[in-house]
Chains A and B, each alone.
Chain A
Amino acid sequence: MELPESGIDLSPTLIVEDNGPMQQRLRRLLTDLIGADAQITAVDSIAAAKAQLGENATSMALIDIGLPDGNGIDLIAWLHVHHPQVTTVVISAWGHEDTVLAALRAGAIGYLLKEREDIELSLALQSIRRGGAPIDPTIARGILALLQLPTEPATTVASGTVVATARPPDHALSDRESEILKLVARGYSNRDIAELTTLSRFTIEGYTKSIYRKLAVRSRTAAVFEAKALGLLH
């Protein structure tokens, strides 16, 4: 299977972050990646972000969780509905697992961890630019738990069978995707996985992004179903 995603323009980027040093750090990292002519706008609240999004075209939004006037995840969800063309990336601090999962289900396709080294954040942004998405074992475990897939290593065919019978096809992860997820959960690096699966590292990053997309789709479908059940939609 070939890479399903094309690359993403990192400019123009909107940074929604109320912490000054972190704002500057992200701006510096992006400038280092794109160059001095990068269009980077930084705001420190949801209201300002929405205003900015209404006025100017935006390719990518980096969104912090704890904002003065609300939760970043709500902003991500709002973007997912009103500006689906914007690539959203959540910025998370310590104890990130639940936050990142919530953001992914709200429509984010990536995350940046404040605790990480600059070089690691830069690698994550590069991956996003290539059309991929960063992932780590904790998030992979969380997704597996969410989809009620076994974390144990299993052969591709066997686990694929389980997925195919347990889930409707449009929501299900492909065999490749669940295989990659399980390998990530066990701590294998992208390079290790590339060796094990004979896929390129970039292809693997693309699968990760595809997994995130499915999470969001799944969660929106579930939301519609729940709304119907409650009589809010007809």
Chain B
Amino acid sequence: MLVLTACARQATPATPAVLTIDRAEAVQADWLSGAVPSTGWTPVTLMDYWNTRWPQHDGVVWYRVHWNQTNADTPVGILLEYVCMADAVYVNGSLIHRDPQLVEPLSRSWVAPQYFTIDKPLLHAGDNTLLVRVSGLASYQPGFGKVQLGNPEAVHALYQHNLRWRYGIRQFDFAISAVLGSLFGMFWLLRRKDTVYGWYALSTIFGAGYGWNYVADSPWPFTTTDAWQAFNVAMFVALACSFIVFLLRFCGRRWPRTEGILLLATVAAFAVALLAPGVMGPWRNLWVIPTVVLYYVAIAVFLWYATRSSRIDVRVLAASMLLPVLASMYDLSLYLELVRGTTFLGELTSPVSLLGMSFAVAWRFSEAMRRVEGFNVELRHEVDAATAQLGDTLTREHQLALANTRIGERLNLVRDLHDGFGGSLLGAIATLENPQRPPEPARVVSTLKELRDDLRLVIDTTTHEHDSDLAGLLAPLRHRWSQRLDVADIDSCWQLEGLDGLHLGPARSLDLLRLLQEALTNVLKHSHASRVEITVRRSNAQLSIEVRDNGSGFDLAAARDSHQVGGAGLASLRTRADRLGSELVLDASPDRGVTLRLNVHLQAAR
């Protein structure tokens, strides 16, 4: 019958060089079974899961396959599609392969197909026997898949194909998950605020941990398959929970209560996996099925959300999940043995979904960058505008400060006016109002004229101080007084030296002009002189001022004692000299004229 089948298979034109065998015999044995049992063989159809027949059997099951080799001169290639968990392989009674661990912790040969090449003398012409000793646990789909044999090249090509799609792609998934997880984990580490990256990284890393199940060839670091499986289930729970939180964050949602429950479930899964692996492993479906349901619900809700969202990243993420969802439904059926097969589709679609998800997250990242760049441009515009405004403000403030300085100078001058002109005015009023000595009109006129002359000095100083040096300020005074003295038949002789470019400042200039004017007024009114010499000379840092007349003079001591007119005039001159930072030297005696002298230090002036 086997031969018939084999012949029938060989007759198939698609694979003439390869024989697929799906008939075998099986027998139970214990963990340490060494010899091939001679009795108890049961015919089975490959692919065979023995837990469907012997639901409680943990240990060894021997599978025996016969084939008829018409020509033993060419080698033959043998492909074992699926062996779960660990195995030893015998051909015609000779061992050709043995996994490192045939008892717990079991080697995990189920992750990959196995290939062997057999040649003479092992290979006989005629009937050959392939014996596979499989160690497995009833809870974890123990069993033996179809056997394919024939032309080594053709069978090896099949093996390569199987290996690539079952094992290679899982390795690729694992690696890509680890890389993406680390990458987005780094993003999150450097930018804690963007928790969506953190959750994506976490779910991807849990995904990698879960995916290790399809790649690892031993349960290390666990000592039992139960512990391994329990931990793997916990990984799956963690993956689903973190993925759900990621979806929430991706949609900009934050559901603390739901997230708390998810966290609790994850912690519980890990706790049970570590504390009671013997229970959790065999009963893993109690965890897996609710988790899968939750996962599907979350994805369904997300897909529903995506259909209503206009965000491109949300749509891409939804599209990238649609295909894997369909695939995982198939895988679930496979897992629950609703359909038979050796290849889960998840491993085929998971790179698609990984890439889709990373695209969505990266899109989000680039959107953020675009926003930042846009913001930068906007910011630059605003900074430019603010800088210009600030510049304007500073210019205005600078001009204002300059204006304030000028106003300050003016205020000082106004204060001097109060002291000087205002004081003279009030003094004049007091004198004129004195009831004891009603003033004669000539005196009133004289007082008013003094005020007028003072006002003229004030006007000249305030109008021209800023654009004129001392020489320029003295010119009107000189001109005016030359004429007055001339009319009064007094020769005036002016010596003005070194005054070009000299600026004393408005207040001091005014003091100097007033002092000269008062001195000349005294000469005009009281001296009876025929000649007056006025000298203002600058030598280095000193300004010497001298007014000398050849008039009648007076007795200095007498003038000091009596508070006569001359005495009052002298007091005023002394005050002005004080304000200039100088001392007035007066040289006077009867019939020898009056000489008035003072030296002003220009350093002090500045």
Contact = CB atoms under 8 A, between A and B. Distances in A.
Contacts of B468: 141
Interface string A188-228: 11011000000000000000000000000000000000000
Q: Which of B464, B479, B496 gathers the greatest number of chain A CB atoms within 10 Å? A: B479
Interface in B435-473: 449, 452, 455-456, 459-460, 463-464, 468, 471-472
A137 interface: yes
B475 A185 contact: yes
Given A94-B459, A95-B459, A141-B472, A187 B486 contact: no
A186 interface: yes
Contact of B482 (A95, A151, A185, A191): A191
A123 interface: yes
Residue among B474, B483, B492, B494 facing the most chain A CB atoms (10 A cut-off): B483
B477 interface: yes
Chain B interface bracket (under 10, 10 to 19, 20 to 34, 35 or more): 20 to 34
B476 interface: yes
Contact of B463 (A95, A115, A152, A187): A95
B487 to A, nearest CB: 5
Contacts of B455: 94
A186 B486 contact: no
Interface in A146-197: 151-152, 184-189, 191-192
B459 to A, nearest CB: 6
Contact of A187 (B452, B456, B477, B487): B477
B253 interface: no
A97 B494 CA distance: 24
A44 interface: no
Contacts of A123: 483, 487
Given A117-B484, A189-B486, A184 B459 contact: no
B606 interface: no
A18 interface: no
Nearest to A122: B487
B174 to A, nearest CB: 92
Interface residues of A, number: 22
Contacts, number: 59
Contacts of B476: 136-138, 187
B486 A191 contact: yes
Contact of B496 (A95, A115, A187): A187
A120 interface: yes
B456 A115 contact: yes
A233 interface: no
A151 B463 CA distance: 17
B496 A189 contact: no
Given A141-B472, A185-B475, A136 B480 contact: yes
Contacts of A120: 483-484, 487
B601 interface: no
A126 to B, nearest CB: 12
Interface string A93-120: 0110100000000000000000101011
Interface string B522-563: 000000000000000000000000000000000000000000
A104 to B, nearest CB: 17
Contacts of B124: none
Interface in B496-525: 496, 500
B475 A137 contact: yes
B478 interface: yes
A116 to B, nearest CB: 8
Contacts of B484: 117, 120
Given A94-B459, A141-B472, A184 B483 contact: no
A189 B472 CA distance: 14
A111 to B, nearest CB: 14
Nearest to A189: B482
Contacts of A97: 463
Nearest to A141: B472
A185 to B, nearest CB: 6
B483 A186 contact: no
Nearest to B452: A115
A184 B484 CA distance: 16
A184 to B, nearest CB: 7
B479 A137 contact: yes
A140 to B, nearest CB: 8
A123 B494 CA distance: 22
A226 B322 CA distance: 88
Nearest to B460: A138
Given A137-B476, A187-B496, A119 B487 contact: yes
A115 B450 CA distance: 11
A187 B459 contact: no
Contacts of B475: 137-138, 141, 185-187
Nearest to B492: A189
A81 B423 CA distance: 49
Contacts of A187: 471, 474-479, 482, 494, 496
Contacts of A189: 478-479, 482-483, 486, 492
A136 B479 contact: yes
Contacts of B464: 138
A100 to B, nearest CB: 13
A32 to B, nearest CB: 15
Nearest to A95: B459
A97 B464 CA distance: 11
Nearest to B468: A141
Nearest to A120: B483
Nearest to B456: A115
B475 to A, nearest CB: 3
Contacts of B494: 187, 192
A123 B482 CA distance: 13
Contacts of B486: 189, 191
B408 to A, nearest CB: 23
A97 B486 CA distance: 24
16 contacts: A94-B455, A115-B452, A123-B483, A123-B487, A137-B476, A137-B479, A138-B464, A141-B475, A151-B472, A185-B472, A187-B476, A187-B482, A187-B494, A187-B496, A188-B479, A189-B483
Return the 10 tightest CB-CB contacts between A and B, nearest first: A187-B475, A187-B478, A189-B482, A137-B475, A137-B476, A137-B479, A136-B479, A119-B487, A187-B479, A186-B475
Given A120-B484, A189-B486, 18 more contacts: A136-B476, A136-B479, A136-B480, A137-B472, A137-B475, A138-B475, A141-B475, A184-B479, A186-B475, A187-B474, A187-B475, A187-B494, A187-B496, A188-B478, A189-B479, A191-B482, A191-B486, A192-B482
